[in-house]
Amino acid sequence: MLGINMDDVIAMIRSLQTQLIVIGVALCVAIVLTIAVNKLWLKSQGWRKLIHSWTWIAATVAVIVAVSMMLFGPLNTTLNLMSGSGTLSESSKARAEKLATEIQNEGVTLLENNDSSLPLEKNSSVNVFGWASSNPIYGGTGSGSMNAQYPTTSLIQGLQDAGFKTNEQLTKKYTDYRADRPIVGMVSQDWTLPEPTAASYTDAEMTQAKNFSKKAIVVIGRSGGEGADLPSDMSTIDTHAAGYKSEVQAFGGKEVHDYVNNGDYNDFEAGEGYLDLSKTEQDLVKLVTDNFDDVTVVYNGANAMNLSWVNNYSQIKSVLWCPPAGQTGFDSLGTILSGEVNPSGKTSDTFIKDFSQAAWHNNIGHWEYTNMDEFKTNAGFFGNFTPSFVNYSEGIYVGYKYFETAAAEGVINYDDVVQYPFGYGLSYTTFSQQMSEPTVSDGKVSFDVTVTNTGSVAGKTAVEIYYNPPYTNGGIEKSVANLVAFEKTKSIEPGQSETVKVSFNESDMASYDTANNGGYVLESGDYEISANADSHNKLDTKTVNVANTIRYDSSNPHNGDKTAAVNHFEDASGNGSVTYLSRANQFANREQALAAPTNLELAQEYKDTFVNSSNVNEWLEKTKAEEGDVKMPTTGAKNGIQLYQLYGKKYDDKMWDQLLDQLTYEEMNQLIAFAGYNNAAIPSIGKVRQSDVDGPAALNNNFTQQGSIGLPSSTTVASTWNKELAKEYGKVIAQMGHDLHITGWYAPAMNIHRSPYAGRNFEYFSEDPLLSGVMASAEIKEVQDAGIYAFMKHFALNDQEDHRLAMLHTWTNEQALREIYLKPFEMSVKDGGATAVMSAFNYIGNTWAGANSALLNDVLRNEWGFNGFVLTDYFGGYGYMEGTESIYNGGNGMLATVPTTNNITDRSANTVAHMREAAHGILYAAVNTYVYANGAPRVEIAMWQWIYYVVVAVLALLLLWAAWVSIRRFIKRRKAEKEAVEVVAVEETVEVQETAESTEDTAPAAEAEKPADAE
């Protein structure tokens, strides 16, 4: 789960400053009056006590009013979020645990199995080497993290549950070395790879291990998380000597990027990355292979690691890729090693031997612009940011599409570069696949694939269908290999066959042509269709001929588009400032296109249209002028429409106008500005508050700390190549969502594995857009069908973590944008029925993705037909996120719980019109959930409000009692004072009288005593 962001704390305090000032002033006035009446002018105790009492009664009332304004104002959203309810049922837990095992069973990929090294003998003893075996990778960090309230099945426990005996002395060695995994946090990261040095293994330990078992397993792990990409050059990280204590915290603290060596040497040399083997790990592998002849390597991680070293040791007989397993998935590793489960996973990414040969190698990370100082921002907790950029210079040639095409053009030697192709995976059995002749009818290409188990044990396999289109030198860019369809067989017994039916749209083979205002084109010619073992190795091939070129225009939109696709992102290409890789003349521009950027200045034409918080007000006034006069929308009408009446109605139903007329400006702002982790309550239309939560592998409520069991990562799901498991994933998420009273899921994430070094690859599916889109849309459909809206994210081009908050200009051409990066989102709308989207932090070209009208209006809504709720990514402001800019360009809500630049403060007719449409999308998604399926939902008062009402009632009674007591005492004191005055007056009168009488009594005596001669 996410931690506390200090910027949020500061923003919250700022939002409370008026009320805090009122409290401070009330208390100061009370203190001053108390002192004044004591020392300056009031002698009457009755009046002094009365003023004391009423001063503090009034101060208390002022404090209560101020606190009430806090609770029902700035703190309202946060308190409502914290008062959420719901717990996971036992049936949901059981279903989730079962699914986790099924996904991991089919997601673990067998990469090597020489000499039938696997499966191992059941119930045998095994030595498990490597510190990662004691602290494996269950998931990732950030929004994709696991909930700690549920137990996890460790890697060692998974092996033991399968009947294996593991060497406990080795496991103790690792837990004694370090018990916890280094923190890879949002702000700071400890990239340390703990591993005891080879020298630390004594002869006695190695002898004991050899006596324990002749079999050795070496576990290597790599983690990733939100907020940082994996270092591609470890020399850029602060490296420390062994024994150093890193100051990295999970969230908060100062920014730190550490690596602590394991020995008296450097684990990495300059140029070596986190996905290479460290020196300590190399020494471990050598130690193990020197002592054991049958070694299995298990790589545990979501990022495609450089595994070329496994081929340097003849003793390494088998290799398994075990991507993150979730909280209960490691049992599968044990059953696969024992042979109880036959592995059927296929790689969802290409594993390469030399990262420097990848098309992305020189163009990952970020480069700061040198001429954008006037747009520098203070992002608070995250520091100062200067606008930056990254070039997607490889164009459409992402992942296997580059390696296969470059090899076909003779630019690279495939076997020297690629170790395990995309879609690759072995089994304990073997299969053959034969295609029938394809038929084309009504735009559909259809055929059968007969899959036969030619081995000796039952097993499953994937049917992978690729097409190789006709290519004209210098024409539209095309890869020689393109996944177009896939299926997963059931378990096939030895000697038996299964017939798999395959079909796809002929238009799925079209390319996007940016010429002539753009559009999808299916060029005439022969299209090779093949059933492959992986992206490189074909099992059977057929040909489909397209007689005439088809251009998909307004009379024939592409793949169900509502309006024909045309160019909308010409500016995102950089208008000539970026050279994109072209296949023309055998990639003649390869060296130039794939080189690191040298021009670090943003062109003036882009500077002139760049918007961040420093100039958003000028942008707003200019935009309103361009829009012209707009009629002020109706607000606050009394039409009597309640939200539940819109359940199931179309987005453009006329009743929506009646409902929207009822909303006030304040209600619309509440919906829009405070849409973080909830869909706000609007009592006037019968709208209850609804909860939205992270994340891609679990449901985590960051405010109640309630959550679900963590499932295997999206990369693991993709590696199953099983659509049915993706569907079940969606069903399980929905069931757990109902248990936890959740209506919005911040997932699935479907950005592309452009580089294996991207920090959140574990949240994303694959380097391939079709595999990503099929899995994501399958999950979304099941979640949506269960009445929960799924936020497909991060829309779009959020394919890296590095500098994602630093106004990261992401440059790509429109063909790559549409064919690679937008395709999973397109499928999620058209096939999955998504009604919610989370936009991205980055800029597309020079426009923030969360305020990009071309993306959110022209493509998402107008082309694809999306209706619903577009939410920003976490709304921290960061010097460029502006709520007003977002709603003017297709955004609906801000993922915020505290007021920053999310509030809509402009009240012009233009802005209110955009607020109205933004609220429309939010309400459309909200009403089409299970909450409204059976009519008006019961409006519940949050627990904190009940507590508030009770406390206020008690305080009110106490204040009334105090007022009554103070008045009674005042009356008594005044009476006593009056009586005292009367007594004093009487006493004074008596004293005067007595004095007078005394005077009268003494006068005659004095006269009598006068001497005679006194006369």
Q: Report how far residue 235's alpha carbon sits from residue 547's, in angstroms, rounded to the nearest whole number.
A: 56
What is residue 295's predicted lDDT score, i.e. its pLDDT? Answer: 99
Q: Are 295 and 309 in contact (CB under 8 A)?
A: no
> Which element (helix H / strand E) includes 519?
strand 519-522
Domain check: are 42 and 121 in the same one? no
Q: Report how far residue 252's alpha carbon sits from residue 989's, in angstroms, rounded to the nearest whole number.
A: 79
- The phi, psi pair for 93, rounded to 5°, reads -60, -45
DSSP state of 883: H
Judged by DSSP in three states, 609 sits in: coil
Domain check: are 214 and 308 in the same one? yes
Domain check: are 738 and 808 in the same one? yes
Strands (E), 719-816: 742-745, 789-795, 808-811
Residues 691-726 pLDDT 10s: 999 988 888 877 777 778 899 999 999 999 999 999
DSSP state of 710: P
Q: Are 716 and 748 in contact (CB under 8 A)?
A: no
Q: Does 822 fall in a domain?
A: yes
Q: Does 22 fall in a domain?
A: yes
Q: Are 366 and 390 in contact (CB under 8 A)?
A: yes
The two counts, helices (H) then strands (E), for the chain are 27, 36
Q: Are 893 and 672 in contact (CB under 8 A)?
A: yes
Token output for 274? 């986190």
Domain check: are 63 and 192 in the same one? no
Q: Report how far residue 799's alpha carbon sits from residue 759's, in angstroms, rounded to the nearest whole number.
A: 9
Judged by DSSP in three states, 92 sits in: helix
Strands (E), 738-806: 742-745, 789-795
Domain check: are 605 and 679 in the same one? yes
Q: Does 773 fall in a domain?
A: yes
Domain check: are 891 and 795 in the same one? yes
370: Cα separation from own chain's centroid: 31
**What angle (nearest 5°) sits at the alpha carbon of residue 897, between those of residues 896 and 899?**
80
Q: Does 944 fall in a domain?
A: no
Which residues sit opposite 441 in a β-bridge?
444
CA distances from 907 to 19, 121, 664, 904, 946 (A): 24, 73, 12, 8, 34
Q: Are 658 and 633 in contact (CB under 8 A)?
A: no
CATH of the domain at 467: 2.60.40.10
CA distances from 431 to 212, 455, 823 (A): 36, 7, 31
Q: Tokens 């177009």 correspond to what residue?
A: 484
Strand order of the β-sheet with 893-895 is 678-679, 690-693, 742-745, 789-795, 836-839, 869-874, 893-895
Q: Are 148 and 187 in contact (CB under 8 A)?
A: no
Q: Are 479 and 397 in contact (CB under 8 A)?
A: yes
End-to-end CA, the chain: 117
The last residue of a domain, from among 323, 344, 365: 344
CA distances from 288 to 265, 284, 316, 337 (A): 20, 6, 10, 19
Q: Does 378 fall in a domain?
A: no
The last residue of a domain, from among 344, 375, 407: 344
Domain check: are 194 and 284 in the same one? yes
What is residue 1012's predicted lDDT score, i.e. its pLDDT? Answer: 44
Q: Does 82 fall in a domain?
A: no
Q: Could you say which residues of the chain have pLDDT below 70? A: 1-8, 39-43, 81, 143-146, 250-254, 380-381, 977, 981-1015
Q: Please give the single-letter amino acid code of residue 507.
A: S
Comparing C-alpha atoms, which of 109, 946, 831 is closest to residue 461? 109
Residues 464-488 pLDDT 10s: 999 999 999 999 999 999 999 999 9
CA distances from 750 to 35, 229, 774, 915 (A): 66, 17, 10, 28
CB atoms within 10 A of CB 903: 16
Domain check: are 473 and 619 in the same one? no
Q: Report how far residue 193's alpha carbon sits from residue 190's, in angstroms, rounded to the nearest whole number.
A: 9
Q: Does 970 fall in a domain?
A: yes
Domain check: are 908 and 823 in the same one? yes
Domain check: are 441 and 305 in the same one? no
Residues 566-584 pLDDT 10s: 999 999 999 999 999 999 9
Concatenated DSSP letters for 888-951? HTT--EEE-SS-SS-S----SHHHHHHHHHHHHHHHHHHHTSGGGTTSSPPP---HHHHHHHHH
The last residue of a domain, from among 909, 937, 965: 937
Q: Report how far residue 651's alpha carbon sits from residue 656's, in angstroms, rounded to the nearest whole number.
A: 8
Comparing C-alpha atoms, which of 730, 654, 737 is closest to residue 699? 737
Q: Tokens 């269950």 correspond to what residue?
A: 138
Q: Does 59 fall in a domain?
A: yes
CA distances from 179 to 218, 422, 624, 663 (A): 18, 35, 59, 55
DSSP state of 225: B
Q: Please give the single-letter amino acid code of residue 380.
A: G
Q: Report how far residue 610's alpha carbon sits from residue 885's, in angstroms, rounded to the nearest whole number.
A: 12
Domain check: are 279 and 181 in the same one? yes
- What is the number of structural domains in the chain? 4
The two beta strands, 808-811 and 388-391, are parallel
Strand order of the β-sheet with 511-513 is 511-513, 519-522, 550-552
Which residues sit opposite 503 in a β-bridge?
446
Peptide bond into 474 cis (omega under 30): no
CATH of the domain at 124: 3.40.50.1700
CB atoms within 10 A of CB 589: 15
Q: Please give the single-letter amino acid code of residue 104.
A: Q
The two beta strands, 431-435 and 444-453, are antiparallel
Q: Domain range for residue 265?
A: 109-344
Q: What is the 3-state secondary structure (H, E, C) of 399-441?
A: CHHHHHHHHHCCCCCHHHHEEECCCCCECCCCEEEEECCCEEE
Domain check: are 908 and 959 in the same one? no
Q: Report how far residue 829's alpha carbon sits from residue 929's, in angstroms, rounded to the nearest whole number.
A: 17
Token output for 49? 């006590």
The two beta strands, 690-693 and 678-679, are antiparallel
Comparing C-alpha atoms, which of 132, 496, 491, 133 is closest to residue 340? 491
Q: Are 375 and 346 in contact (CB under 8 A)?
A: no
